[in-house]
Structure 1
């Protein structure tokens, strides 16, 4: 496997701790995240600037936060990994985070909890079945099924991320040997161009780039990045520090209520989702014409669902040990 940089989420938490950021951050948490003022009503939320943030943006657009007496300012995350120090330092109170980043943070002892579900795996996988992201090839490629990735150069956002892990599981479960895939880290905006130029034989665009490129005939879908059998498991969540959760139990409950109210409106209503995507996320109508609308979490993830993702991460050594799921999710009363 080829790595073009050394900044994957898995490798960077140790740097934070080694630099002494953790100790300073925990002090800042109690000062900035409501430690002296319980149940704050104003929140800054770091989120994905993409369709993955539909429930957050829907809750803003449709007044669900206002209905719960909250004022929410959404700011884009550079990455889920970059959101961790902002949470710990009180720069933001809540952050949307992919599950592997969250699990790694927990396993390193960082005091984070899930306050609401965000995204979940939309399908049970399948050849040529679309989802929020997928593996594509040139239209004339001889690759036709996932096991054909073995021995080929496949572009991914980063090594040991959710996309990388899911592709490995898809290939192995289909009878291939994913350890023989040559994974290459590529910038998300270049996933289509690099395939077309032949620099990689397959790559993993997300929406809306993937569906638009397929519709234009630039690439062909082989398989989504959804793992067969794992439909409904969490793919991302809204996370806060334990201090914030404990000091602001009503705020946490209201935030989750607003998120899930928006998710209930958007799930199954394509037009509602596209309206939010255009007005709140600033995607253009032509980008949305063929877009796949992802499934949104309508409730807290269960321990069983969390464990399924953890088991996969252990299998591919993204995690070296399994974090305990018992107290990962904040309860309505804010307790542990």
Structure 2
């Protein structure tokens, strides 16, 4: 299995290069073993464990694919890589896809990726604060500084909605963009009042003594499909065999990951430097095969409400499989 290589691009690059139209799917040649080589953009977090596990178990090989992984800090950075043809397929939260579509990018979700467990007491993401913080609930986040991994995206949108529902002034929150691996140190140093953290870094933060405040994904939207695997409309139309093979393989991998949680945790050591003791304590996301359309629609409505995009320009019917 290949290790991750860094690749961050701004969304503006995608808008500039989209017209070029050169799909990476048309350029990839088969390897010496006859497998189709495919580059996939991912984030080095627990959400993508099923794709690594699927490759480890030979599921992608069975479908004729050999995966190359390229990493980014968040889905917003993966979108332009897919649009430009640098990667054929990407992993991204649903808001990043809607933002891209609202800006004229023909992005298509092809499979579920990761979902909330739906249980606020046991979900894979939490807003956390230092143990001695005076923040006791989500309403107390008004007027505070909060670290998230990508600005103007799914997390600040849901946080604003949660604070608003709690009666707080959502406009008074200051969001700071910090990659998930660096958030815990920023919180400990007092650079921010709270962080939105996900696994495996959530367990690491808890080991350092933070306190949970709010399960963002589980509390705001019921059974939230957080992220999907996606490609462009051009790749979908010009190389349907690739999309069909990848979709079948990732869905088998999601099922395998759901049925083998210990192996799902263990594969994290393939693409992160997380210690074994931490891996054993991780809370897994849910890995259903189906995208929860009502949940995605609700996230779209919130994106529209909080000014991220015009939902009519997104065209969810075209974006979702």
Q: Same fold (TM over 0.5)?
A: yes
Give the structure 2 partner of residue 260 of structure 1.
251
Pick from 298, 301, 321 the counterpart of residue 308 of structure 1: 298
Pick from 215, 219, 233 the counterpart of residue 224 of structure 2: 233
Stretch moving more, 274-283 or 289-298: 274-283
Give the structure 2 partner of residue 201 of structure 1.
193
1:24-45 CA-to-partner distances (Å, cap 9, x unmatched) read 2x2x12xx423899xx933111
Pick from 47, 53, 65 the counterpart of residue 52 of structure 1: 47
Give the structure 2 partner of residue 149 of structure 1.
141
Give the structure 2 partner of residue 5 of structure 1.
none
1:80-119 CA-to-partner distances (Å, cap 9, x unmatched) read 2333332233221111112111111111111221121111
* Structure 1 residues 152 and 320: CA distance shift in structure 2, 3 A: same
Pick from 1, 26, 33 the counterpart of residue 25 of structure 2: 33
Q: How does the TM-score come out when normalised to structure 2?
A: 0.85
SS of equivalent to 2:256 = helix
SS of equivalent to 2:250 = helix
1:174-232 CA-to-partner distances (Å, cap 9, x unmatched) read 23232222333334333223333333221223222221221332x11111221525233
Q: Does 1:288 align with 2:279?
A: yes
The whole-number CA distance in structure 1 between the counterparts of 2:49 and 2:319 is 23
Structure 2: runs of 5+ lacking an equivalent = 1-8, 30-34
Give the structure 2 partner of residue 23 of structure 1.
19
Equivalent residue pairs, number:
307
Pick from 38, 43, 52 the counterpart of residue 43 of structure 1: 38
Q: Does 1:319 align with 2:304?
A: no
Give the structure 1 partner of residue 32 of structure 2.
none
1:15-66 CA-to-partner distances (Å, cap 9, x unmatched) read 643xx32222x2x12xx423899xx933111111221111211210111112
Q: Does 1:169 align with 2:158?
A: no
CA RMSD of aligned residues (A): 2.6
The whole-number CA distance in structure 2 between the counterparts of 1:207 and 1:324 is 31
The whole-number CA distance in structure 1 between the counterparts of 2:113 and 2:187 is 30
* Structure 1 residues 48 and 193: CA distance shift in structure 2, 3 A: closer
Shift, 1:302, TM fit:
4.8
Give the structure 1 partner of residue 129 of structure 2.
137
SS of equivalent to 2:92 = strand
1:150-179 CA-to-partner distances (Å, cap 9, x unmatched) read 222222234322121121122222232322
Stretch moving more, 245-254 or 110-119: 245-254
Alignment map for 1:173-188 (pairs within 5 Å): 173-188=165-180
Give the structure 1 partner of residue 104 of structure 2.
109
Contact 1:57–1:281 (8 Å) recurs in 2 = no
Stretch moving more, 58-67 or 279-288: 279-288
The whole-number CA distance in structure 2 between the counterparts of 1:78 and 1:62 is 26
Which protein is richer in helix relative to its size? 2
Structure 1: runs of 5+ lacking an equivalent = 1-8, 331-336
* Structure 1 residues 59 and 36: CA distance shift in structure 2, 3 A: closer
Shift, 1:236, TM fit:
1.1
Contact 2:83–2:232 (8 Å) recurs in 1 = yes
Shift, 1:272, TM fit:
2.1
